[in-house]
Chain A
Amino acid sequence: MTDATLAPANQVVKPQVQKRAAPIVPERSVAGRTLVLLIAIMTFLSGVTLGGVVLVQKSAVAWSADVGREVTIQLRPVEGEVMDSNIRTAIALAEATPGVARAYALTIEDSQKLLEPWLGAGLDLSALDIPRLVVVELSDTRDVDLSLLARDIATIKGATLDTHAAWRQQLNTMAGTIVFSGLMVLALIVLATVLAVVFATRGTMASNREIVDVLHFIGASNSFIAGEFQGRFLSLGLRGGMIGGLGAVLFFFAVAGAAGSIVPGEASSQLGFFFGRFSLGIDGILGIAAVVPVIAAMTAITSRLTVRRFLSQTS
Protein backbone atom coordinates (compact mmCIF):
# COMPACT_ATOMS: atom_id res chain seq x y z
CA MET A 1 0.00 0.00 0.00
CA THR A 2 1.15 3.56 -0.49
CA ASP A 3 1.11 6.30 2.09
CA ALA A 4 -1.11 8.40 -0.21
CA THR A 5 -4.00 6.01 0.27
CA LEU A 6 -3.86 6.28 4.03
CA ALA A 7 -5.45 8.92 6.18
CA PRO A 8 -3.30 12.04 6.69
CA ALA A 9 -1.12 11.74 9.76
CA ASN A 10 -2.62 14.85 11.38
CA GLN A 11 -6.06 13.18 11.46
CA VAL A 12 -4.73 10.13 13.19
CA VAL A 13 -5.86 9.40 16.72
CA LYS A 14 -2.78 8.18 18.53
CA PRO A 15 -2.91 6.10 21.70
CA GLN A 16 -3.38 8.48 24.64
CA VAL A 17 -1.00 6.81 27.01
CA GLN A 18 2.39 5.45 25.95
CA LYS A 19 2.52 2.32 28.03
CA ARG A 20 4.78 -0.68 27.83
CA ALA A 21 3.50 -3.36 25.44
CA ALA A 22 1.80 -6.27 27.17
CA PRO A 23 3.82 -9.50 27.27
CA ILE A 24 3.02 -11.86 24.40
CA VAL A 25 2.81 -14.79 26.82
CA PRO A 26 0.25 -13.59 29.37
CA GLU A 27 1.36 -13.75 32.99
CA ARG A 28 -1.72 -15.53 34.23
CA SER A 29 -1.33 -18.30 31.64
CA VAL A 30 1.74 -19.64 33.42
CA ALA A 31 1.14 -21.56 36.67
CA GLY A 32 3.24 -18.79 38.18
CA ARG A 33 2.44 -18.86 41.87
CA THR A 34 2.91 -22.63 42.16
CA LEU A 35 6.16 -22.51 40.21
CA VAL A 36 7.52 -19.57 42.26
CA LEU A 37 6.73 -21.49 45.47
CA LEU A 38 8.39 -24.63 44.11
CA ILE A 39 11.49 -22.74 42.99
CA ALA A 40 11.60 -20.91 46.35
CA ILE A 41 11.55 -24.25 48.20
CA MET A 42 14.20 -25.73 45.92
CA THR A 43 16.41 -22.65 46.31
CA PHE A 44 15.94 -22.75 50.10
CA LEU A 45 16.98 -26.42 50.20
CA SER A 46 19.93 -25.71 47.89
CA GLY A 47 20.96 -22.74 50.07
CA VAL A 48 20.71 -24.69 53.33
CA THR A 49 22.65 -27.62 51.81
CA LEU A 50 25.32 -25.32 50.42
CA GLY A 51 25.52 -23.40 53.70
CA GLY A 52 25.86 -26.69 55.61
CA VAL A 53 28.65 -27.80 53.29
CA VAL A 54 30.42 -24.46 53.77
CA LEU A 55 30.08 -24.69 57.57
CA VAL A 56 31.46 -28.23 57.70
CA GLN A 57 34.27 -27.41 55.32
CA LYS A 58 35.26 -24.27 57.24
CA SER A 59 35.15 -26.09 60.61
CA ALA A 60 37.19 -29.01 59.26
CA VAL A 61 39.81 -26.71 57.75
CA ALA A 62 40.03 -24.59 60.92
CA TRP A 63 40.19 -27.62 63.21
CA SER A 64 42.73 -29.40 61.02
CA ALA A 65 44.89 -26.27 60.94
CA ASP A 66 44.64 -25.86 64.74
CA VAL A 67 45.56 -29.48 65.37
CA GLY A 68 48.30 -29.38 62.76
CA ARG A 69 50.03 -26.39 64.39
CA GLU A 70 51.04 -28.39 67.43
CA VAL A 71 52.18 -31.87 68.40
CA THR A 72 52.13 -33.43 71.84
CA ILE A 73 54.75 -35.35 73.74
CA GLN A 74 53.21 -37.78 76.18
CA LEU A 75 55.32 -38.86 79.15
CA ARG A 76 54.06 -41.92 80.97
CA PRO A 77 55.26 -42.49 84.52
CA VAL A 78 58.01 -45.12 84.54
CA GLU A 79 59.41 -46.56 87.68
CA GLY A 80 62.89 -45.25 88.38
CA GLU A 81 62.45 -42.21 86.15
CA VAL A 82 62.03 -38.66 87.48
CA MET A 83 59.06 -37.12 85.71
CA ASP A 84 60.14 -33.46 86.15
CA SER A 85 63.57 -34.24 84.77
CA ASN A 86 62.11 -36.07 81.78
CA ILE A 87 59.76 -33.15 81.12
CA ARG A 88 62.67 -30.69 81.06
CA THR A 89 64.61 -33.01 78.71
CA ALA A 90 61.62 -33.35 76.39
CA ILE A 91 61.15 -29.56 76.29
CA ALA A 92 64.84 -29.05 75.54
CA LEU A 93 64.88 -31.66 72.78
CA ALA A 94 61.73 -30.23 71.25
CA GLU A 95 62.98 -26.63 71.28
CA ALA A 96 66.25 -27.76 69.67
CA THR A 97 64.31 -29.21 66.71
CA PRO A 98 64.13 -26.95 63.63
CA GLY A 99 60.61 -25.61 62.95
CA VAL A 100 59.53 -25.65 66.59
CA ALA A 101 58.47 -22.29 68.06
CA ARG A 102 58.23 -23.30 71.69
CA ALA A 103 57.44 -26.22 73.95
CA TYR A 104 55.84 -26.17 77.39
CA ALA A 105 54.50 -28.72 79.82
CA LEU A 106 50.88 -28.74 80.88
CA THR A 107 50.53 -28.39 84.60
CA ILE A 108 48.52 -30.87 86.67
CA GLU A 109 45.75 -28.21 86.80
CA ASP A 110 45.74 -27.91 82.98
CA SER A 111 45.42 -31.67 82.64
CA GLN A 112 42.64 -31.63 85.23
CA LYS A 113 40.72 -29.06 83.14
CA LEU A 114 41.10 -31.15 80.02
CA LEU A 115 39.67 -34.19 81.79
CA GLU A 116 36.84 -32.32 83.55
CA PRO A 117 34.23 -32.89 80.79
CA TRP A 118 34.74 -36.66 81.13
CA LEU A 119 35.69 -37.16 84.80
CA GLY A 120 33.82 -34.25 86.40
CA ALA A 121 35.04 -31.20 88.31
CA GLY A 122 36.88 -31.15 91.65
CA LEU A 123 39.00 -34.26 91.05
CA ASP A 124 42.45 -34.26 92.69
CA LEU A 125 44.75 -35.73 90.06
CA SER A 126 47.83 -35.44 92.25
CA ALA A 127 46.80 -38.71 93.82
CA LEU A 128 46.86 -40.44 90.44
CA ASP A 129 49.86 -41.45 88.33
CA ILE A 130 48.66 -39.87 85.14
CA PRO A 131 50.80 -39.20 82.06
CA ARG A 132 52.06 -35.64 81.63
CA LEU A 133 51.82 -33.74 78.38
CA VAL A 134 54.28 -31.41 76.70
CA VAL A 135 52.75 -29.21 74.06
CA VAL A 136 55.07 -28.44 71.14
CA GLU A 137 54.02 -25.44 69.06
CA LEU A 138 55.34 -25.44 65.53
CA SER A 139 56.51 -22.31 63.76
CA ASP A 140 56.72 -23.99 60.38
CA THR A 141 54.39 -26.94 59.79
CA ARG A 142 55.97 -27.86 56.45
CA ASP A 143 59.68 -27.81 57.26
CA VAL A 144 59.58 -29.20 60.80
CA ASP A 145 61.42 -32.53 61.12
CA LEU A 146 58.99 -34.54 63.22
CA SER A 147 60.81 -37.82 62.58
CA LEU A 148 63.97 -36.32 64.12
CA LEU A 149 61.93 -35.15 67.10
CA ALA A 150 60.35 -38.62 67.41
CA ARG A 151 63.78 -40.25 67.42
CA ASP A 152 65.09 -37.82 70.04
CA ILE A 153 62.02 -38.25 72.23
CA ALA A 154 62.33 -42.04 72.01
CA THR A 155 65.52 -41.77 74.05
CA ILE A 156 63.41 -40.73 77.04
CA LYS A 157 61.84 -43.71 78.74
CA GLY A 158 58.03 -43.72 78.57
CA ALA A 159 57.90 -40.77 76.12
CA THR A 160 55.98 -40.88 72.85
CA LEU A 161 55.25 -38.26 70.19
CA ASP A 162 51.66 -37.77 69.05
CA THR A 163 51.42 -35.83 65.78
CA HIS A 164 47.58 -36.15 65.64
CA ALA A 165 47.97 -37.42 62.03
CA ALA A 166 45.33 -40.14 62.49
CA TRP A 167 42.86 -37.59 63.93
CA ARG A 168 43.47 -35.20 61.09
CA GLN A 169 43.04 -37.91 58.49
CA GLN A 170 39.80 -39.08 60.09
CA LEU A 171 38.57 -35.50 60.30
CA ASN A 172 39.39 -34.82 56.67
CA THR A 173 37.70 -38.06 55.58
CA MET A 174 34.58 -37.20 57.58
CA ALA A 175 34.47 -33.63 56.24
CA GLY A 176 35.06 -34.85 52.68
CA THR A 177 32.21 -37.36 53.02
CA ILE A 178 29.83 -34.68 54.31
CA VAL A 179 30.84 -32.26 51.55
CA PHE A 180 30.42 -34.93 48.88
CA SER A 181 27.02 -35.95 50.30
CA GLY A 182 25.98 -32.29 50.34
CA LEU A 183 27.00 -31.84 46.72
CA MET A 184 25.06 -34.98 45.78
CA VAL A 185 21.97 -33.61 47.53
CA LEU A 186 22.51 -30.31 45.69
CA ALA A 187 22.70 -32.14 42.35
CA LEU A 188 19.47 -34.01 43.12
CA ILE A 189 17.72 -30.75 44.05
CA VAL A 190 18.89 -29.20 40.78
CA LEU A 191 17.65 -32.25 38.84
CA ALA A 192 14.27 -32.11 40.60
CA THR A 193 14.02 -28.39 39.79
CA VAL A 194 14.83 -29.02 36.13
CA LEU A 195 12.15 -31.72 35.92
CA ALA A 196 9.58 -29.49 37.62
CA VAL A 197 10.36 -26.65 35.19
CA VAL A 198 10.13 -29.02 32.20
CA PHE A 199 6.64 -30.12 33.30
CA ALA A 200 5.57 -26.54 34.02
CA THR A 201 6.84 -25.38 30.61
CA ARG A 202 5.08 -28.20 28.78
CA GLY A 203 1.86 -27.34 30.58
CA THR A 204 2.27 -23.68 29.71
CA MET A 205 3.00 -24.50 26.06
CA ALA A 206 -0.10 -26.69 25.84
CA SER A 207 -2.31 -24.00 27.35
CA ASN A 208 -0.80 -21.36 25.05
CA ARG A 209 -0.97 -23.40 21.87
CA GLU A 210 -3.14 -20.77 20.19
CA ILE A 211 -0.56 -18.05 20.86
CA VAL A 212 2.24 -20.25 19.50
CA ASP A 213 0.23 -21.00 16.34
CA VAL A 214 -0.57 -17.32 15.75
CA LEU A 215 3.08 -16.37 16.28
CA HIS A 216 4.10 -18.98 13.73
CA PHE A 217 1.55 -17.74 11.19
CA ILE A 218 2.73 -14.16 11.47
CA GLY A 219 6.34 -15.17 10.87
CA ALA A 220 7.84 -15.48 14.35
CA SER A 221 10.91 -17.69 14.53
CA ASN A 222 11.15 -20.56 17.01
CA SER A 223 13.93 -18.63 18.67
CA PHE A 224 11.65 -15.60 19.21
CA ILE A 225 8.84 -17.76 20.62
CA ALA A 226 11.25 -19.61 22.92
CA GLY A 227 12.62 -16.24 24.05
CA GLU A 228 9.15 -15.03 25.05
CA PHE A 229 8.57 -18.11 27.21
CA GLN A 230 12.12 -17.96 28.55
CA GLY A 231 11.64 -14.37 29.68
CA ARG A 232 8.49 -15.31 31.59
CA PHE A 233 10.21 -18.26 33.28
CA LEU A 234 13.35 -16.23 34.06
CA SER A 235 11.20 -13.74 35.91
CA LEU A 236 9.50 -16.54 37.88
CA GLY A 237 12.86 -18.18 38.58
CA LEU A 238 14.36 -14.94 39.88
CA ARG A 239 11.36 -14.27 42.12
CA GLY A 240 11.33 -17.82 43.53
CA GLY A 241 15.11 -17.88 43.83
CA MET A 242 15.26 -14.64 45.80
CA ILE A 243 12.55 -15.77 48.22
CA GLY A 244 14.28 -19.13 48.77
CA GLY A 245 17.78 -17.62 49.03
CA LEU A 246 16.65 -15.00 51.54
CA GLY A 247 14.90 -17.75 53.51
CA ALA A 248 18.11 -19.82 53.62
CA VAL A 249 20.22 -16.87 54.85
CA LEU A 250 17.61 -16.03 57.53
CA PHE A 251 17.56 -19.71 58.51
CA PHE A 252 21.30 -19.66 59.26
CA PHE A 253 21.01 -16.38 61.20
CA ALA A 254 18.14 -17.85 63.20
CA VAL A 255 20.06 -21.08 63.94
CA ALA A 256 23.18 -19.13 64.94
CA GLY A 257 21.08 -16.92 67.23
CA ALA A 258 19.26 -19.90 68.72
CA ALA A 259 22.50 -21.84 69.29
CA GLY A 260 23.94 -18.85 71.15
CA SER A 261 20.92 -18.20 73.36
CA ILE A 262 19.43 -21.67 74.04
CA VAL A 263 22.62 -23.69 74.64
CA PRO A 264 24.42 -22.67 77.88
CA GLY A 265 27.72 -20.80 77.49
CA GLU A 266 30.07 -23.65 78.39
CA ALA A 267 28.28 -26.25 76.27
CA SER A 268 28.09 -23.67 73.48
CA SER A 269 31.83 -23.24 73.50
CA GLN A 270 32.27 -27.06 73.45
CA LEU A 271 29.89 -27.26 70.48
CA GLY A 272 31.79 -24.44 68.83
CA PHE A 273 35.05 -26.28 69.36
CA PHE A 274 33.82 -29.51 67.81
CA PHE A 275 31.39 -28.27 65.15
CA GLY A 276 32.47 -24.69 64.56
CA ARG A 277 30.21 -21.65 64.96
CA PHE A 278 26.90 -21.62 63.09
CA SER A 279 28.14 -18.57 61.28
CA LEU A 280 28.18 -18.68 57.50
CA GLY A 281 30.54 -15.79 57.04
CA ILE A 282 30.57 -13.59 53.98
CA ASP A 283 31.67 -16.45 51.69
CA GLY A 284 28.75 -18.61 52.79
CA ILE A 285 26.25 -15.78 52.23
CA LEU A 286 27.80 -15.05 48.82
CA GLY A 287 27.54 -18.77 48.01
CA ILE A 288 23.80 -18.78 48.80
CA ALA A 289 23.36 -15.53 46.87
CA ALA A 290 25.05 -17.17 43.88
CA VAL A 291 22.48 -19.99 44.03
CA VAL A 292 19.69 -17.48 43.18
CA PRO A 293 20.88 -16.46 39.68
CA VAL A 294 22.00 -20.03 39.00
CA ILE A 295 18.50 -21.38 39.77
CA ALA A 296 16.86 -18.54 37.78
CA ALA A 297 19.15 -19.07 34.79
CA MET A 298 18.60 -22.81 34.98
CA THR A 299 14.84 -22.25 35.01
CA ALA A 300 15.05 -19.97 31.98
CA ILE A 301 17.39 -22.23 30.01
CA THR A 302 15.34 -25.34 30.83
CA SER A 303 12.13 -23.66 29.67
CA ARG A 304 13.84 -22.41 26.50
CA LEU A 305 15.15 -25.86 25.61
CA THR A 306 11.74 -27.41 26.37
CA VAL A 307 9.99 -24.84 24.15
CA ARG A 308 12.50 -25.33 21.32
CA ARG A 309 12.00 -29.08 21.53
CA PHE A 310 8.22 -28.66 21.59
CA LEU A 311 8.32 -26.34 18.57
CA SER A 312 10.64 -28.55 16.56
CA GLN A 313 8.30 -31.49 17.21
CA THR A 314 5.16 -29.59 16.28
CA SER A 315 6.33 -27.43 13.39
Chain B
Amino acid sequence: MIEFTNVGLRYGHGPEILRDMSFRIEPGSFHFLTGPSGSGKTSLLRLLLLSLKPSRGNVTMFGRDVGVLDQDALLEMRRHIGIVFQEFRLLDHLTTFENVALPLRVLGQPESQYRDNVTELLEWVGLGERMEAHPPLLSGGEKQRAAIARAVIGRPDILLADEPTGNVDPDLSHKLVRLFVELNRMGTTIILATHELPLLDAFHFPRMQLDDGRVVIND
Protein backbone atom coordinates (compact mmCIF):
# COMPACT_ATOMS: atom_id res chain seq x y z
CA MET B 1 0.00 0.00 0.00
CA ILE B 2 2.82 2.41 0.92
CA GLU B 3 6.40 1.98 -0.19
CA PHE B 4 9.30 4.35 0.47
CA THR B 5 12.58 3.76 -1.41
CA ASN B 6 15.67 5.76 -0.41
CA VAL B 7 13.51 8.75 0.46
CA GLY B 8 15.18 11.90 1.75
CA LEU B 9 13.64 15.21 2.79
CA ARG B 10 15.12 18.62 3.34
CA TYR B 11 13.45 22.01 3.75
CA GLY B 12 14.91 24.51 1.28
CA HIS B 13 18.69 24.36 1.34
CA GLY B 14 18.84 23.06 4.92
CA PRO B 15 20.22 19.70 6.04
CA GLU B 16 18.34 16.47 5.33
CA ILE B 17 15.99 15.78 8.22
CA LEU B 18 14.86 12.43 6.82
CA ARG B 19 17.40 10.23 5.02
CA ASP B 20 17.54 6.95 3.19
CA MET B 21 14.10 5.88 4.28
CA SER B 22 13.07 2.57 2.81
CA PHE B 23 10.08 0.72 4.19
CA ARG B 24 6.82 -0.89 3.20
CA ILE B 25 3.42 -0.59 4.91
CA GLU B 26 0.95 -3.35 4.13
CA PRO B 27 -2.81 -2.73 3.82
CA GLY B 28 -4.75 -3.18 7.06
CA SER B 29 -1.66 -2.88 9.27
CA PHE B 30 -1.23 -0.82 12.43
CA HIS B 31 2.09 0.92 13.11
CA PHE B 32 3.24 3.20 15.87
CA LEU B 33 5.57 5.92 14.64
CA THR B 34 7.85 6.85 17.46
CA GLY B 35 11.04 8.74 18.19
CA PRO B 36 12.28 11.66 20.25
CA SER B 37 10.96 15.20 19.73
CA GLY B 38 12.40 16.73 16.57
CA SER B 39 13.23 13.35 15.05
CA GLY B 40 10.99 14.10 12.03
CA LYS B 41 7.74 12.28 12.90
CA THR B 42 5.57 15.15 11.71
CA SER B 43 7.63 15.57 8.52
CA LEU B 44 7.25 11.86 7.76
CA LEU B 45 3.50 12.09 8.36
CA ARG B 46 3.34 15.09 6.01
CA LEU B 47 5.13 13.01 3.35
CA LEU B 48 2.59 10.25 3.90
CA LEU B 49 -0.24 12.83 3.68
CA LEU B 50 1.22 14.01 0.34
CA SER B 51 1.44 17.57 1.59
CA LEU B 52 5.25 17.48 1.09
CA LYS B 53 7.29 16.12 -1.80
CA PRO B 54 10.48 14.18 -1.00
CA SER B 55 13.77 15.81 -1.95
CA ARG B 56 14.93 12.46 -3.31
CA GLY B 57 13.85 8.85 -3.57
CA ASN B 58 10.53 7.30 -4.57
CA VAL B 59 7.21 7.14 -2.77
CA THR B 60 4.63 4.68 -4.04
CA MET B 61 1.08 4.68 -2.67
CA PHE B 62 -1.83 2.56 -3.79
CA GLY B 63 0.52 1.18 -6.47
CA ARG B 64 1.27 4.57 -8.03
CA ASP B 65 4.46 6.64 -8.00
CA VAL B 66 3.32 9.86 -6.32
CA GLY B 67 6.27 11.80 -7.79
CA VAL B 68 4.70 11.82 -11.24
CA LEU B 69 1.13 12.63 -10.21
CA ASP B 70 -0.40 16.00 -11.07
CA GLN B 71 -2.29 18.18 -8.58
CA ASP B 72 -5.68 16.63 -9.35
CA ALA B 73 -4.40 13.07 -8.97
CA LEU B 74 -2.64 13.97 -5.70
CA LEU B 75 -5.85 15.53 -4.42
CA GLU B 76 -7.83 12.43 -5.35
CA MET B 77 -5.24 10.22 -3.60
CA ARG B 78 -5.25 12.46 -0.52
CA ARG B 79 -8.99 11.81 -0.17
CA HIS B 80 -8.08 8.20 0.67
CA ILE B 81 -5.96 9.37 3.61
CA GLY B 82 -7.37 10.66 6.91
CA ILE B 83 -5.38 12.74 9.39
CA VAL B 84 -5.79 13.43 13.12
CA PHE B 85 -3.75 16.16 14.78
CA GLN B 86 -2.59 16.55 18.37
CA GLU B 87 -4.15 20.03 18.50
CA PHE B 88 -7.43 18.71 16.98
CA ARG B 89 -7.70 21.53 14.38
CA LEU B 90 -11.48 21.67 14.49
CA LEU B 91 -13.13 24.80 13.10
CA ASP B 92 -14.54 26.70 16.08
CA HIS B 93 -17.41 28.38 14.19
CA LEU B 94 -18.84 25.04 13.04
CA THR B 95 -20.76 22.61 15.25
CA THR B 96 -19.33 19.17 16.00
CA PHE B 97 -21.72 17.72 13.41
CA GLU B 98 -20.59 20.25 10.77
CA ASN B 99 -16.91 19.66 11.57
CA VAL B 100 -17.26 15.93 11.17
CA ALA B 101 -19.29 16.33 7.97
CA LEU B 102 -16.75 18.72 6.43
CA PRO B 103 -14.86 16.12 4.31
CA LEU B 104 -18.16 15.08 2.70
CA ARG B 105 -19.29 18.67 2.28
CA VAL B 106 -16.12 19.58 0.36
CA LEU B 107 -16.89 16.68 -1.99
CA GLY B 108 -20.15 18.44 -2.81
CA GLN B 109 -22.46 15.96 -1.07
CA PRO B 110 -25.78 17.42 0.14
CA GLU B 111 -26.51 17.20 3.86
CA SER B 112 -29.49 14.95 3.23
CA GLN B 113 -27.06 12.37 1.80
CA TYR B 114 -24.61 12.29 4.72
CA ARG B 115 -26.74 13.30 7.72
CA ASP B 116 -27.44 9.75 8.92
CA ASN B 117 -23.84 8.55 8.43
CA VAL B 118 -22.39 11.49 10.36
CA THR B 119 -24.94 11.06 13.14
CA GLU B 120 -24.19 7.33 13.41
CA LEU B 121 -20.46 7.94 13.51
CA LEU B 122 -20.83 10.60 16.22
CA GLU B 123 -22.90 8.11 18.22
CA TRP B 124 -20.18 5.50 17.73
CA VAL B 125 -17.43 7.78 19.09
CA GLY B 126 -19.70 8.79 21.98
CA LEU B 127 -20.59 12.31 20.84
CA GLY B 128 -24.24 11.70 20.02
CA GLU B 129 -25.38 14.23 22.59
CA ARG B 130 -22.75 16.81 21.63
CA MET B 131 -23.26 17.10 17.90
CA GLU B 132 -24.74 20.60 18.07
CA ALA B 133 -22.01 21.87 20.40
CA HIS B 134 -19.19 24.05 19.11
CA PRO B 135 -15.57 22.92 19.73
CA PRO B 136 -14.80 25.57 22.39
CA LEU B 137 -17.47 23.91 24.55
CA LEU B 138 -16.02 20.38 24.15
CA SER B 139 -13.49 18.75 26.50
CA GLY B 140 -10.08 17.66 25.18
CA GLY B 141 -11.21 14.06 24.81
CA GLU B 142 -14.41 15.09 23.04
CA LYS B 143 -12.47 17.30 20.65
CA GLN B 144 -10.08 14.46 19.81
CA ARG B 145 -12.94 12.02 19.24
CA ALA B 146 -14.58 14.61 16.96
CA ALA B 147 -11.27 14.99 15.10
CA ILE B 148 -11.02 11.21 14.69
CA ALA B 149 -14.61 11.08 13.44
CA ARG B 150 -13.81 13.82 10.91
CA ALA B 151 -10.76 11.86 9.75
CA VAL B 152 -12.71 8.64 9.17
CA ILE B 153 -16.08 9.93 7.90
CA GLY B 154 -14.81 9.69 4.30
CA ARG B 155 -13.85 6.01 4.95
CA PRO B 156 -10.12 6.53 4.20
CA ASP B 157 -7.88 3.56 3.48
CA ILE B 158 -5.08 5.06 5.54
CA LEU B 159 -5.46 6.96 8.82
CA LEU B 160 -2.52 9.04 10.06
CA ALA B 161 -2.50 10.37 13.60
CA ASP B 162 0.06 12.90 14.85
CA GLU B 163 0.34 12.60 18.67
CA PRO B 164 -3.45 12.24 19.01
CA THR B 165 -3.15 11.55 22.74
CA GLY B 166 -0.82 14.44 23.48
CA ASN B 167 -3.50 16.66 25.00
CA VAL B 168 -5.52 14.12 27.02
CA ASP B 169 -4.99 12.25 30.28
CA PRO B 170 -3.52 8.67 30.29
CA ASP B 171 -6.88 6.99 30.84
CA LEU B 172 -8.41 8.77 27.87
CA SER B 173 -5.26 8.08 25.83
CA HIS B 174 -5.91 4.34 26.14
CA LYS B 175 -9.56 4.80 25.17
CA LEU B 176 -8.57 6.82 22.10
CA VAL B 177 -5.99 4.24 20.99
CA ARG B 178 -8.65 1.53 21.43
CA LEU B 179 -10.77 3.58 19.02
CA PHE B 180 -7.92 3.47 16.48
CA VAL B 181 -7.56 -0.29 17.07
CA GLU B 182 -11.27 -0.69 16.39
CA LEU B 183 -10.92 1.26 13.14
CA ASN B 184 -7.94 -0.91 12.21
CA ARG B 185 -10.03 -4.05 12.73
CA MET B 186 -12.49 -2.63 10.23
CA GLY B 187 -9.70 -2.57 7.64
CA THR B 188 -8.18 0.89 7.92
CA THR B 189 -4.38 1.08 7.79
CA ILE B 190 -3.23 3.09 10.82
CA ILE B 191 0.03 4.97 11.43
CA LEU B 192 -0.08 6.59 14.87
CA ALA B 193 2.77 8.87 15.91
CA THR B 194 3.42 8.99 19.63
CA HIS B 195 6.31 9.18 22.05
CA GLU B 196 4.30 7.93 25.05
CA LEU B 197 6.01 4.74 26.20
CA PRO B 198 3.05 3.46 28.29
CA LEU B 199 0.92 3.40 25.16
CA LEU B 200 3.61 1.60 23.16
CA ASP B 201 3.87 -0.98 25.91
CA ALA B 202 0.12 -1.40 26.30
CA PHE B 203 -0.58 -2.04 22.62
CA HIS B 204 1.60 -4.50 20.78
CA PHE B 205 1.91 -3.22 17.25
CA PRO B 206 4.98 -2.80 15.04
CA ARG B 207 6.98 0.34 15.77
CA MET B 208 8.54 2.62 13.19
CA GLN B 209 11.42 4.03 15.18
CA LEU B 210 12.79 7.34 13.87
CA ASP B 211 16.28 8.20 14.92
CA ASP B 212 18.72 10.69 13.41
CA GLY B 213 16.54 11.02 10.32
CA ARG B 214 16.43 7.29 9.64
CA VAL B 215 13.63 4.83 10.25
CA VAL B 216 13.80 1.31 11.64
CA ILE B 217 10.73 -0.92 11.81
CA ASN B 218 10.61 -3.20 14.85
CA ASP B 219 8.06 -5.95 14.63
Contact = CB atoms under 8 A, between A and B. Distances in A.
Contact of A217 (B83, B101, B111, B116): B83
B120 interface: yes
B174 interface: no
Nearest to B150: A218
Contacts of A219: 75, 78-79, 103, 106-107, 154
A12 B128 contact: yes
A24 B51 CA distance: 21
B132 A13 contact: no
Nearest to A28: B93
A210 B91 CA distance: 8
Contacts of B21: none
A6 interface: yes
A93 interface: no
A91 B198 CA distance: 117
B105 interface: yes
Nearest to A29: B93
Contacts of B121: 6
Contacts of B183: 1
By size class, the interface of chain A is 20 to 34
A76 to B, nearest CB: 83
Given A1-B152, A9-B116, A21-B98, A217 B123 contact: no
A67 interface: no
A217 B48 CA distance: 12
A38 to B, nearest CB: 24
A232 to B, nearest CB: 13
Contacts of B102: 24, 214-215, 218
A220 B123 contact: no
B119 interface: yes
A15 B186 contact: no
Nearest to B90: A214
By Cβ-Cβ distance, the 6 closest A-B pairs, closest first, are A220-B106, A219-B79, A1-B186, A26-B93, A218-B103, A7-B123
Given A210-B89, A219-B78, A12 B116 contact: yes
B132 A15 contact: yes
B98 A22 contact: yes
A298 interface: no
Nearest to B82: A218
26 contacts: A1-B155, A1-B183, A1-B188, A6-B121, A6-B123, A9-B120, A12-B128, A13-B119, A13-B123, A13-B128, A21-B98, A22-B95, A24-B91, A24-B105, A26-B93, A214-B89, A214-B102, A215-B106, A216-B51, A218-B83, A219-B78, A219-B107, A219-B154, A221-B72, A221-B106, A224-B106
Interface string A192-226: 00000000000000000011011111111110100
Interface in A3-23: 3, 5-7, 9, 11-16, 21-22
A21 B111 contact: yes
A2 interface: yes
B119 A14 contact: yes
A129 B120 CA distance: 105
Given A1-B155, A9-B120, A217-B83, A14 B115 contact: yes
